[in-house]
Structure 1
Amino acid sequence: MPVNAPTTNTSVPRRGMLLDPGMDLTLRPMRYPGFYDHYRAAIRNTWTVEEVDLHSDLSDLTRLSAEEFHLVNRLVAFFATGDTIVANNLVLNLYKHLNAPEARLYLSRQLFEEAVHVQFYLTLLDTYLPDHDERAKAFAAVENIPSIRDKAAFCFRWIDSLTHTDQLHGSQDRRAFLLNLICFAACIEGLFFYGAFAYVYWLRSRGLLNGLASGTNWVFRDESMHMQFAFSAVDTIRAEEPSLFDEDLTGQVTRMMEEAVAAELAFAHDLCGDGLPGMSADDMRAYLQYVADQRLARLGMPTRYGTANPFAFMDLQDVQELSNFFERRVSAYQIGTEGTVSLDEEF
């Protein structure tokens, strides 16, 4: 054999764990078929903003009391940038460190869905706030409205926690990534957005803003699937590296959840003031604590609050049984792509 001639290695290279550094490009043999199933389910859930009719909401806006309009104004101000923050974390952290091509397929799809949500909320603001100056205030809410600024600061702190981490080499790096993943799944998408959904469905329960509720149904489905994927990733990491899941991690996650509940409760006080019919900051406190316990239970961690769901109007969006939501046939849902899909099919 000539000197420096290449040698042939017929052995199959070892494929590492989900958080091992690198960029695995090989989809076959598939290591994590469950992630691929999440991707396929998301494709079946395709929708477009053009399917949502907000025109019926225009007359409702004129019927709102000053307190109700304040709530709606604050709500759409949060929506204006909320999904963009989530998208930034997808690009800067999750896609970078989840080393499985099937996981990255799903994250690519999730990024598209976040873009659709941003478009939906842009359309929402254009419809609800036709005045240019009012829209400008809504888009600047993360800088000018304290309750929204504090929620954004909470998000940015966890995004920035991985800014200088190019690869997850040791347990400290991997714990930091786990906390980021759990924060965005359980606290931001799983608590901040669910709090926002509760306001939307409260309005719907009073016969108001059905167009907003219709679009939120689609967003709700997307966000629920985002959580399911992220929790599946956490389950995978737990199976591969159980030593990461110790009492210290549980304590950090519990404190993180407490901070998220406090930030969202401050937002509730801003929105609800002295209280509205069927919606008060105290009611929202109970609901947020209820949701927080559901997230902790899904992570296999002790619950913190032991609070019941105070909102009967959230029964159809019950966060205890997310899978049941997907199994229900909802006639208002339409697929946004060619072909057919059974909404009785398990996701």
Structure 2
Amino acid sequence: MRYPEFYERYRAAIRDTWTVEEVDLHSDLADLAKMSPQERHLINRLVAFFATGDSIVANNLVLNLYQHVNAPEARLCLSRQLFEEAVHVQFYLTLLDTYLPDPDERVKAFAAVDNIPSIRDKAEFCFRWIDSLSDLQRLETREDRRTFLLNLICFAACIEGLSFYGAFAYVYWFRSRGLFGGPATGTNWVFRDESMHMEFAFSVVDTVRAEEPDLFDDKLGEQVTQMIEEAVTAELAFARDLCGDGIGGMNAEHMREYLEYVADQRLSRLGLEKKYGTANPFAFMELQDVQKLANFFERRVSAYQVAVEGNVSFDESF
């Protein structure tokens, strides 16, 4: 194999297998019943976004990334990611069924891309980058490969690495108040999966930069920075929709600071200059990257792994 790192990432992902059935959501119905109208609005909007977000990521995997990433060991990672996105969609559908028992409310949640402006703007941002590769059957030219890189970076840095991280912050904010332990349990595992998806994509970018360093020039860097700025703007509009004038310790201003903090992390990982220089305002998010802590009552900690048997020899003649 030319890229053993990708094969090891695939094996690591298998060890991180989890199922939706391990998450208990029904114990949180009492929390939902005592929430204020503003808090219920936040939950409804958040679930509506979750219901469609991972499906959009899966679409890009199938339509674009798998088609153009040809290394077999890298395709193993993408195949595994598609399975994980399906588990995430199942988890969010279960959230819908549990928290929105009214069929009409669930229909509205599924139609969020069409009738909720803040979610529609996020989706249109995604679709623009999905469509950027729709006419490319092969990456024949330097410009084609740059377009592919921009798509990959968008979904790693802006969607999985920013949009989802912002959504996770709302879930962990509830948990920090002793509410919604069930969604936080599932989100621990989704968070772990998405972090691995993001790091795989960044590793692909690293590999491309090592093999074709001229592709990642100043122009591409400027395009990536502008893309991330647009993503922050879309996420801030979503935050204003969710939070209104503020709910307890959560408001759009704090979320702006968190989004800018995360955006700087993504720019730094890509070797680009930070844009915002903003500190993380959410102390409850500082431990999430560790991913080894768990609520005492969870069925298993988020660091739990299953065994993977067998070895593969890495040899160019393989």
If the TM-score is normalised by the length of the shorter chain, which range does it land in?
A: over 0.9
Contact residue 24 and residue 182 of structure 2 kept, 8 A: yes
User: What is the RMSD of the two structures over their aligned residues, measured on CA atoms?
Assistant: 1.4
What SS is found at the alignment partner of 1:164? Answer: coil
The question of whether the paired residues in 1 share the 8 Å contact of 2:161 and 2:198 is answered with yes
**CA positional deviation for 1:336:** 7.6
Structure-2 residue corresponding to 1:232: 203
1:333: how far off?
Answer: 3.5
User: Could you list the runs of 4 or more consecutive aligned residues of structure 1 that deviate by over 2 angstroms after TM superposition?
Assistant: 328-337
Uncovered stretches (5+) of structure 1, i.e. residues with no partner: 1-29, 319-324, 342-347
Q: Per-residue displacement from partner, 1:200-248 (whole Å, max 9, x unpaired)?
A: 0000011111101011001000000000100000000000000011110
Matches within 5 A, 1:63-82: 63-82=34-53
Question: In the alignment, what sits opposite 1:113?
Answer: 84
Q: 2:146 aligns with which of 156, 175, 188?
A: 175
Instruction: Name the CA distance, whole Å, in 1 between partners of 2:63 and 2:70.
Output: 14
Q: Look up the match of 2:315.
A: none
Residue 211 of structure 1 is matched in structure 2 by: 182
What secondary structure sits across from 2:192 in the alignment?
A: helix
CA shift in 2, pair 1:110/1:35, >3 Å:
same
User: Does structure 1 conserve the Cα–Cα contact (< 8 Å) formed by 2:6 and 2:200?
Assistant: yes
Percent identity over paired residues: 75
Summarize the Cα distance change of 1:334–1:292 in structure 2 as closer, same or farther, 3 Å threshold: closer
CA displacement 1:25-64 (0-9 Å, x = unmatched):
xxxxx00000001100000000000000001111000111
Distance (whole Å) between structure 2 residues aligned to residue 32 and residue 299 of structure 1: 20
Match for 1:184: what amino acid? Answer: F
Task: List per-residue Cα deviations over 1:135-185 (Å, max 9, x = no partner).
Answer: 000000000100000000000000000000011111100000000000000
Give SS of 2:286's match.
Answer: helix
Which of 109, 124, 148 aligns to 2:95? It is 124
Equivalent pair of 1:49/1:119 in contact (CA under 8 Å): yes
Alignment partners' CA distance in 1, 2:177 and 2:125: 32
AA aligned to 1:185 is: A
For 2:218, the aligned partner's letter is E
Counterpart Cα distance in 2 of 1:271 and 1:68: 9
Q: Write the distance in 2 (CA, Å) between the matches of 1:237 and 1:61.
A: 47
Confirm or deny: 8 A CA contact 2:11 2:308 kept in the other structure: no
Give the equivalent residue in structure 1 for 2:191.
220
Aligned to 1:101: 72
Task: Give the Cα–Cα distance (whole angstroms) in 1 for the partners of residues 211 and 92 of structure 2.
Answer: 39
Q: Take 2:80 and 2:286, find their aligned partners in 1: how far apart are those partners? A: 29
Q: Report the residue type matching 2:241 in the other structure.
A: D
Residue of structure 2 equivalent to 1:246: 217
Aligned counterpart in structure 2 of residue 86 of structure 1, from 48, 57, 63? 57
Q: Is the 8 A contact 1:48 1:336 kept in 2?
A: no
Letter in 1 for 2:201: A
Aligned partner of residue 316 in structure 1, secondary structure: coil
Q: Which amino acid aligns with 1:111?
A: L
Q: Say whether residues 1:187 and 2:158 are aligned partners.
A: yes
- Residue 258 of structure 2 is aligned to residue 287 of structure 1: yes
Aligned residues: 304
For 1:304 and 1:314, the matched residues in 2 are separated by: 21
Q: State the alpha-carbon separation in 1 of the partners of residues 79 and 61 from structure 2.
A: 9
Q: Is 1:303–2:252 an aligned residue pair?
A: no
Are the equivalent residues in 2 in contact too, given 1:47–1:334 (CA < 8 A)?
Answer: no
Does the CA contact (< 8 Å) of 2:14 and 2:308 recur in 1? no
3-state DSSP class of the match of 2:26? coil
Normalising to structure 2: TM-score of the pair? 0.93
